[in-house]
Structures are given as structure tokens and as C-alpha cells.
Structure 1
Amino acid sequence: AFVQKLNIKINVSGNTVPLSGLNCTLSGISTARYLASRERTGTASATASFAKKADNVWTAGLYVFGFSPAAENILAVEVLMKEEDSVFNERQSVDLTPYLRGFDGDEISLELDLHIGRELEIGGPVIIPDWEDTPETEFP
């Protein structure tokens, strides 16, 4: 096949209420192909937006000249929350190289599970060396 299609289905779990969209960037895409030999040349990254197909199911499709045999195929998914929750936007990535390297068919479909939400970490403890009592003041 001169052009190949990659279908990606993402099953989303976690805090999905404020989710407004998913975008992705896939590295290791061939930028061109020779007509006679079908040899792939160059590498770049391709971007796509996911479409919501059902509750917590998002899909995207990419048409590419192929996947570079010399580069890694890292899929980075950008999780976009509604504007008031944009502080929770995040980016997660997964290595698809084992599935895409050497693939020579017309179309491949991959299904991924994405859990939204970071694990909370406790920073350094706050130590209060001494309490200081202040007298209460009544305001008129």
C-alpha cells in the first residue's frame, strides 16, 4: 500500500466529567515514499484530534506514507479539560513502536486505555515551630 491508515480508539476512564477533547501527536512517521521502490524516506510527527464516539470512547484516524523503520513511534495524547478546569490538562504518552515497526498492510487499528488523573504526591511537611496567640479584637 502506498498510503497506510492508523485507527486509534481510546477508552477513557477517571475524571471524565470536565473532559472537552483529546489531541495526539505520533512520531516516527515517514514524510515521503519513492514511487518505483516504495521506499520510505524522512521522518516527522503527525497530529490528529480525537472525535467522541460514545461515552468515554474517542477515535482518531491518520493517513500516512508509512512508519519509519529507524524511528520510534511515540504517541503523545493531550487531555484537554473545559476552560474552568484547564489546570487539569495533562499529557500522557505510550510507545507504539512494537506494533507499527515493520507494519506493511493497508490499515491497522489500535485500542488504548487512558486513565485521566495524576497520582497525588505529598510534598515536604509544613512545620510550625511555635504558635503565637493573638488577642481577639471586636470590630464596631
Structure 2
Amino acid sequence: MHRSTTSVDEFLEGLDGAQGEAMRALDLLIHPLMSGLSRTLWEGVFWGGTEQQIIGYGDLVQKRPRGAEVEWFLIGLAQQKNYLSLYVNAVEDGDYVGRRFAESVGASKVGASSLSFKRFEDINLEALTDLVETARALAD
């Protein structure tokens, strides 16, 4: 994946339907909490082989298992075909912090660093705020 030249605002304006509304609402919650950090659209083939567009908040360099380093984001927000995904690349005590918050935030599916939600209404926004604030604090 690579940083896109498309602005996040332009990307969000182009999203339709309920998921577009959800993406804009989640960005309105996350963006201020990440104030002062980058907010960039990432595009390209994601690790699973699918074409993706992810809003990335904050920058980090992440070591991959084979030793290579990649530029990445601290928190990512993506619209998938059937759900919304939040990627949280902050680690505490050797584990991704998203896992600790998954149940309270309301995730329907939990991956190593990802939380997926079927509907915006399924997300506990107070718990999501706590998750974003925790991730940011760990990165500072």
C-alpha cells in the first residue's frame, strides 16, 4: 500500500449510503483525538491481497516478521464490502491494544490488529474514544 494523493476529505465525500455516513461519523470522532498527527489516505493491495482504501491517522514504522520495516499508520479506518474496519497498530505488553477493547467497543470480528463492525450502531463510541486515546498515548 502507498500514501495516496487523494485527500481524506475528498475520499469521504465520495462515499455513499449508510457506510459512507458511518465513515464520516467515525472520522469526526477519531480525527480530533489524533490532532497534530497525520491523516492520510492509503491505497493499494492490502496484505490479504485485496484492493483497499484506508484512512490512516498517525505515522509509525513497523517491523515485519522477516526484519523489513514498513511505513504505516497508528490507527486506520476502512470501509469493506460488508463491514467497517478499524486497524489499531499500538502495542502494549506484547499485544495489540485493540484486542483489549474489542468486547467493550462492540467488534463483531477481531483480528491481530483489526476490529470489524457490521453496522455503525453496533459501535460503543465511548469505548472507541477510550481505545483511540490509549493507542495515541502509547505512541507518544
TM over 0.5: no
What range is the shorter-chain TM-score in? under 0.3
**Normalization by structure 1: what TM-score?**
0.26
Structure number with higher relative contact order (C-alpha < 8 Å, ≥ 6 residues apart): 1
The structure whose residues are more often helix, as a share, is: 2
- Larger Cα Rg: Structure 1 or Structure 2? 1
The structure whose residues are more often strand, as a share, is: 1
